[in-house]
Amino acid sequence: MKPVWWEDNYLYFIDQRCLPLDLVIEKTRDYRVVAKAIKELAIRGAPAIGIAAAYALVLAILNGDDLDEAVKVLKGTRPTAVNLFWAINRMLSLPEKVFELFLEEAKNIEREDEEMNLDIATLGSSLIPFNSAVLTHCNAGGLATSGYGTALGIIKKAWEEGRVVEVIVDETRPLLQGSRLTAWELQEAGIPYKVITDNTAGFMMELSRVSAVVVGADRISSNGDVANKIGTCSLAVLADKFDIPFIVAAPTSSFDWKIRSGKEIPIEQRDEEEVLSFRDIRVAPLDAKAINFAFDVTPAELITAIVCEAGILRPPFITAGL
């Protein structure tokens, strides 16, 4: 199922905050609604954010809104996922700022992401041994892309090929994108899975119950450092300790060739209430303070392979654009 789609001059999107208990579909003709949905994680996942931002600019043109203001609002939603800025800049590079051209280009961005996801799945599945239990973190499935998935796309393809017998799903605190979204996608696909707390992953590896780790990416620097959901770096350290392949899956739209290392990637910090409360239920003392990084950076030396539509990249990673 697609997380965002265009129909009859409306943008439709799944409000992912409501999953897995409720499937709520919203529609809008206002780019501001899309920006708010991105900022508040109703729309999330780097490729999906880029697609939504492209369609948001179509809505701005359709309504005769100030395009510069729309760009400013959209760019101000989330700083880490480079697909957001890539998609906006691609739309702005069009020779004319007219509805027909903008809509065609947004559809191209969505279609190309679908194709890249399928290529990533085909390439990446070859890295998964037969009879594997694969661990994944956060959600890099259809909900985070144009509808198929990057990391979860590899896992789906490997399952179809008989390579995967079970998926281990990190719950992914504090917003539980693993247990809420990835588990929901796997259940819909009929793929066996088990949810674990984030701090169980290391023990699962020690027990030899993890064959490979496959994650997505929100931004990849030119030296191969990877920004992804907070907790990814910890998994990479553990995988390195227990000699388990650590695989990153992302389209080339997630590569930021302008930056040399992960130290230059802007890391989003979100509201501390996401840590101190969950769905309006307080889980910490009223006076407690929290640190809430949305992402961390995994050093390239901890990564076994980066799978993109152009191929499988291995250390030492490329230092120039593909």
List residues with catalytic annotation.
Answer: 218
Cis before 47 (ω within 30): no
Query: Is there a contact between 268 and 243 (Cβ–Cβ < 8 Å)?
Result: no
Report how far residue 12's alpha carbon sits from residue 113's, in angstroms, rounded to the nearest whole number. Answer: 18
Report how far residue 27's alpha carbon sits from residue 13's, in angstroms, rounded to the nearest whole number. Answer: 6
Query: Is there a contact between 156 and 121 (Cβ–Cβ < 8 Å)?
Result: yes
Report how far residue 68's alpha carbon sits from residue 57's, in angstroms, rounded to the nearest whole number. Answer: 10
Quote the crossing angle between the two packed helices 67-75 and 82-92, to the nearest 10°. 170
Report how far residue 283's alpha carbon sits from residue 31's, in angstroms, rounded to the nearest whole number. Answer: 34
- Between the alpha carbon of residue 194 and those of residues 18, 33, 132, 234, the distances in Å are 21, 35, 14, 20
- How many contiguous H segments (helices) and E segments (strands) does the chain have? 11, 16
56 Cβ contact partners less than 8 Å away, ≥ 6 residues apart: 11, 31, 34, 35, 70, 74
Report how far residue 87's alpha carbon sits from residue 251's, in angstroms, rounded to the nearest whole number. Answer: 13
Report how far residue 101's alpha carbon sits from residue 230's, in angstroms, rounded to the nearest whole number. Answer: 37
